[in-house]
Structure 1
Amino acid sequence: MLGFVPFALVLGAQAAEKGFSVIEVPLMTGLNFGGGSEFAAVELWTSPPHILLIVAITFLVNSRHLLMGATLAPLLRHLPRRKALMALFFMCDESWAMALADAKKAGGKLSLGYFFGVAFGLYVSWVVFTTIGAFAGPLLGDITRYGFDMAFPAVFLVMLAGMWKGPNAALPWLVSLVAAGAVHIVIPGAWYVPAGALSGVLSAFLLARNQ
């Protein structure tokens, strides 16, 4: 939850710079709850906004949730659909990774109390501090000069370290990194995001078929 604070403040401040109100920021972060797609949407935001482009980028960035939800599906089958859908709504990268690690320790059983404790705490932290960022951002100016934006990649680096299973399993990560970096250099805008996501998923699929 503490790790969410710096980049939640950055997102809220950046959204305020693009004209989002203090009410609109928590609506976006509360209804979508996907930090990567929200950063991409804010970066692409114009007046008037290119809705189809933002929707497409949001879908592509959040498409990783399809795979994440699939890995949780066997652990949620015993739940009523209402509870399973609620669990999937509150799922984010961090709660997903922590829930899987906890289920592995418990012999493949998902603790719903543990999952919701983690997920809901992260959700509240995200919505609250993006709202504070939207309110305080215009007063503080460019808060990235304090290094807050480094928290976002730092959290994902810690997650990747926890999921490390050797160089062969990490090959899709490398493909995604190289593709995203190349597109970022060559093509302006946020197209490096879908390029990295799609290339990583495609390489993982091809490697799985070969094995």
Structure 2
Amino acid sequence: MSHPETPSASAAQAQLTLAGMALGLRRVSVLLPGIVVFAVAFGAAASAKGLSLLEALLMSALVYAGVAQLVAMELWRPEWTWGAIAGLAFVTATVNARSILQGASLQPWFARYPRLVNAFQLFVFTDANWLIGTRYRAEGGNDLGVVLGAGLCLWIVWLLATIPGFLLGSLVADPRQYGIDLVMPIFFAAMIVPLWRGRRAALPWVVAGVVALVVAKLVDGYAFIIIGALSGALAGAFLDDAA
């Protein structure tokens, strides 16, 4: 059996090993400082909005939506109506809609595993371990432990870092003040480079980025995320048809 560090493309069987989980943890470790600061910022925002520590921890543990949790805190109200709840649900669903395309891109890999395993690993599925998994698969890897290990590590760190954020209050309420909001884009850029397949394959990335920037300038809110992603997906589909 091949080692997760030098995966074999010929391995077709479903694998889920501790070695794979350890590899996922190592690959995502570079992101942990940024994740800690973002989680601290969420904890501080939750405290400022009047949530209890238990409520903040439950949101981090059960919702576990990263940026969407910070967006939810921006829209949080002391009193709620059904309209306000629907509005919050729509905005956070829009922010997280990218996960639909991310999950679909890895479905041929995930489909080999039992539903219970997939349910658990999708619970801790994030942008970071999606990209780690995508790159790992492109290298010929087949061990789902890489995705699961990275996601589980991020979930634990996010949950634990919510506590000091809540207790410290507004000390780190805005990650942009420290440039921490650049951690994820830099990480994504570094991870995507080895996936380069030439100018033609890069066109959907360019389309998605340009459309997202234009929509962000023209439309308030977070619609640019899903519109940009769908535009890139459509561009990729047309390229495949034309090939």
Does the 8 Å contact 1:7/1:152 carry over to 2?
no
Structure 2, gaps ≥5 residues long: 1-28
Alignment TM-score, normalising by the size of structure 1: 0.78
**Aligned-pair distance for 1:140?**
5.4
TM-score relative to the length of structure 2: 0.70
Q: 1:36 to 1:83 in 2, by over 3 A?
A: same
- Which residue of the other structure, out of 149, 156, 179, is the alignment partner of 2:211? 179
Q: Secondary structure at the match of 1:23?
A: helix
Relative distance call for 1:157 and 1:132 in structure 2 (3 A) is farther
Which range is displaced more, 73-82 or 119-128?
A: 73-82
Select which of 159, 173, 178 maps to 1:127: 159
2:202 pairs with one of 170, 173, 179: 170
Structure 2 partner of 1:30: 61
Following superposition, the deviation at residue 181 of structure 1 comes to 2.4
Q: How far off is 1:124 after superposition? A: 0.6
CA gap of 1:67–1:195, structure 2 versus 1, over 3 A, is closer
Q: Distance in 2 between matches of 1:150 and 1:64?
A: 19
Mapped pair 1:56 → 2:87: no
Number of residues of Structure 1 aligned to a counterpart in Structure 2:
209
Measured in 2, the distance between the counterparts of 1:65 and 1:14 equals 24
1:5-49 alpha-carbon deviations (Å, 9 max, x no partner)? 222223333343344332223322322333233333333334445
Deviations 1:155-195 (A, max 9, x none): 33334334433333233333333333233333333343343
Residue 145 of structure 2 corresponds to: 113
Q: Which runs of 5+ in 1 are unaligned?
A: none
In the other structure, the counterpart of 1:74 is 108
**2:132 corresponds to which residue?**
98
Q: Which residue of 2 aligns with 1:160?
A: 192
Report how far residue 121 of structure 1 moved. Answer: 0.9
Q: Using the alignment, how far apart are the partners of 1:88 and 1:44 within structure 2? A: 26
Structure 1: distance between partners of 2:223 and 2:105: 27
Corresponding residue of 1:188:
220
